[in-house]
């Protein structure tokens, strides 16, 4: 039986890096013995131009009826596509790992942290009133959403370095009391996990000074969005930052970055999209009970690390000269070689 993957190619560099990730997924599924079938779901600026809406109903239907979605970055319509899908499909946990990697230039060593970002509420609920003389945006937090995202963070910390940093801005906005109370309430069920609290401005500062001291960072939607790009800069490139948007029944996997309108798409780094695919295999493997997929995810991560370590065939953002296509070919070779010797 084939697992159906809906694929949003997206805009800008999206189609190029998604093509790369598909090639890698085709190779990995064949090597590890499971089947994936891909169904394209057009969305984003190009869909708005071609069909008059950024997320046509046909695309939404394809996504909803698939086993998981692999999404490329979309442009100015990001709100109508990804923010909409996160809320519509109740993908309440945005999980964003950041790790310093071999062969990638960074001012820091040994960074290994995960941002766990609430994905359905906060200012990104987009309840707004914008007039000529004023603009109002409502920050929405609910106990239910704050509690379930805290559980995700603590469960993750339990199998990592057992530390959660709860990030808010309670000194200015009383609304964060709800988030804080939920997080500290959940913490009581995880006695082995150390909890600390930090105001988001201090968090931004500490993250730059001392990124190694963080394990799991639990925060609200917009703070998580902003801190993620900071963390990506700390580990070396946005082109390496990937994420999962997961709920209880569905997962959508995408890079953290956008469409990179300032670069030639044929030189885009596809590794964030590839690593988002790795997260998708892990999630499918876990939720569908498919051991081959879990093995494949490990093999794929190993191949990416080997490629980075060799410093060959890397794209310009990583100091190389390779095209996306060259990097992809090399990665597939490394992957298949690794599989045949394992």
| CB-based contacts of 178-182 (< 8 A; 24+ apart in sequence) | 178/141, 178/142, 178/143, 178/146, 179/118, 179/141, 179/146, 179/220, 181/146, 182/143, 182/146, 182/147, 182/150
Out of 54, 211, 251, 258, the only residue in the binding site for ligand NAI (CB under 6 A) is: 258
- Tokens of residue 34, six digits: 């499971």
The torsion angles phi and psi of 66, rounded to 5 degrees, stand at -90, 170
Residue with the two structure tokens 């530390």: 163
Confirm or reject binding of residue 261 to ligand NAI (CB under 6 A): yes
Q: In the bound complex, what is the minimum distance in angstroms from residue 129's beta carbon to ligand NAI?
A: 22
In this structure, what are the phi and psi dihedrals at residue 3, rounded to the nearest 5 degrees? -80, 135
257 binds ligand NAI (CB under 6 A): yes
What Å distances lie between residue 143 and 146, 148, 179, CA to CA?
Answer: 5, 9, 7
Residue 250 Cβ, how far from ligand NAI at the closest point, in Å? Answer: 17
Does the protein bind ligand NAI through residue 325 (CB under 6 A)?
no
Quote the CA–CA distance of 168 and 115 in Å, as a whole number: 13
Chosen residue from 216, 317, 322, 330 binding ligand NAI by CB under 6 A: 317
Return the number of the residue (64 or 83) whose C-beta is nearest ligand NAI: 83
Residue whose CB is nearest to ligand NAI in the complex, by number: 258
By CB under 6 A, tell whether 116 contacts ligand NAI: no
- Beta 128-130 vs 135-137: how paired, if at all? antiparallel
178 and 143 Cβ atoms separated by less than 8 Å? yes
Q: Which among 3, 124, 190, 267 is annotated as catalytic?
A: 124
Cα pseudo-dihedral 60, 65, 70, 73, rounded to 10: 0
Stretch that binds ligand NAI, among 89-97, 110-118, 129-137, 263-271 (CB under 6 A): 263-271
Pattern 266-295, ligand NAI, x by CB under 6 A: --xx--x-----------------------
Contact map string, positions 25 to 64, toward ligand NAI, x by CB under 6 A? ----------------------------------------
Distance (Å, rounded) from C-alpha 330 to C-alpha 271?
12
Q: Which stretch binds ligand NAI (CB under 6 A): 204-212, 245-253, 260-268, 298-306?
A: 260-268
Sign of CA dihedral 78, 82, 88, 94: negative
Residues 212-251 that bind ligand NAI (CB under 6 A): 238-239
Count other Cβ atoms within 10 Å, centred on residue 329: 15
Site for ligand NAI contains 76 (CB under 6 A): yes
Which residue from 121, 122, 215, 254 is in contact with ligand NAI, where contact means CB under 6 A?
Answer: 254
- The answer to whether 255 and 241 are in contact (CB under 8 A) is yes
**Lookup result for tokens 């597939």:** 332
Our CB check for ligand NAI shows the closer of 31 and 275 to be 275
Q: Which is nearer to ligand NAI, 101 or 293 (CB)?
A: 101
Stretch that binds ligand NAI, among 57-65, 200-208, 252-260, 293-301 (CB under 6 A): 252-260
**Taking CB under 6 A as the rule, does residue 74 contact ligand NAI?**
yes
Q: Is position 225 annotated as part of the catalytic site?
A: yes
Stretch that binds ligand NAI, among 69-77, 109-117, 142-150, 297-305 (CB under 6 A): 69-77
**Residue 85 CB: number of other CB atoms within 10 A?**
23
Active site residues: 124, 169, 201, 225, 229
Residues that bind ligand NAI (CB under 6 A): 13, 17, 73-76, 78, 82, 238-239, 254, 257-263, 268-269, 272, 317
């Amino acid at each position: 039986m084939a697992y159906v993957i809906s694929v949003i190619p997206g805009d800008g560099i999206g189609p190029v890096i998604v093509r790369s990730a598909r090639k890698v997924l085709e190779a990995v599924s064949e090597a590890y013995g499971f089947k994936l079938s891909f169904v394209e779901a057009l969305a984003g600026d190009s869909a708005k131009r071609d069909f008059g809406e950024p997320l046509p109903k046909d695309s939404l239907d394809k996504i909803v009826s698939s086993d998981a979605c692999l999404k490329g970055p979309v442009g100015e319509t990001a709100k109508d596509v990804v923010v909409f899908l996160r809320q519509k499909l109740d993908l309440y946990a945005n999980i964003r790992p950041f790790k310093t990697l071999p062969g990638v230039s960074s001012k820091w060593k040994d960074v290994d942290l995960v941002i766990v970002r609430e994905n359905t509420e906060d200012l990104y609920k987009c309840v707004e009133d914008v007039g000529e003389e004023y603009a109002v945006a409502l920050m929405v937090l609910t106990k239910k959403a704050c509690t379930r995202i805290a559980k995700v963070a603590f469960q993750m910390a339990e199998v990592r370095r057992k530390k959660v940093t709860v990030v808010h801005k309670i000194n200015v906005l009383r609304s964060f009391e709800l988030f804080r109370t939920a997080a500290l309430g959940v913490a009581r069920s995880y006695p082995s996990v150390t909890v600390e609290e930090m105001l988001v401005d201090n968090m931004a500062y500490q993250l730059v000074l001392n990124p190694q001291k963080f394990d799991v960072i639990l925060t609200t939607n917009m703070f998580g969005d902003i801190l993620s790009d900071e963390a990506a800069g700390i580990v070396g490139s946005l082109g390496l930052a990937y994420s999962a948007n997961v709920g209880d029944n569905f997962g959508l996997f995408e890079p953290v970055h956008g469409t990179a309108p300032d670069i030639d798409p044929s030189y885009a780094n596809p590794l964030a999209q590839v690593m988002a695919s790795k997260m998708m295999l892990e999630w499918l493997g876990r939720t569908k009970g498919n051991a081959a997929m879990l093995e494949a995810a490990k093999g794929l991560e190993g191949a990416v690390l080997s490629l980075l370590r060799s410093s060959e065939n890397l794209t310009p953002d990583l100091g190389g000269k390779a095209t996306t296509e060259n990097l992809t070919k090399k990665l597939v070779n490394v992957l298949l070689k690794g599989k045949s010797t394992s």
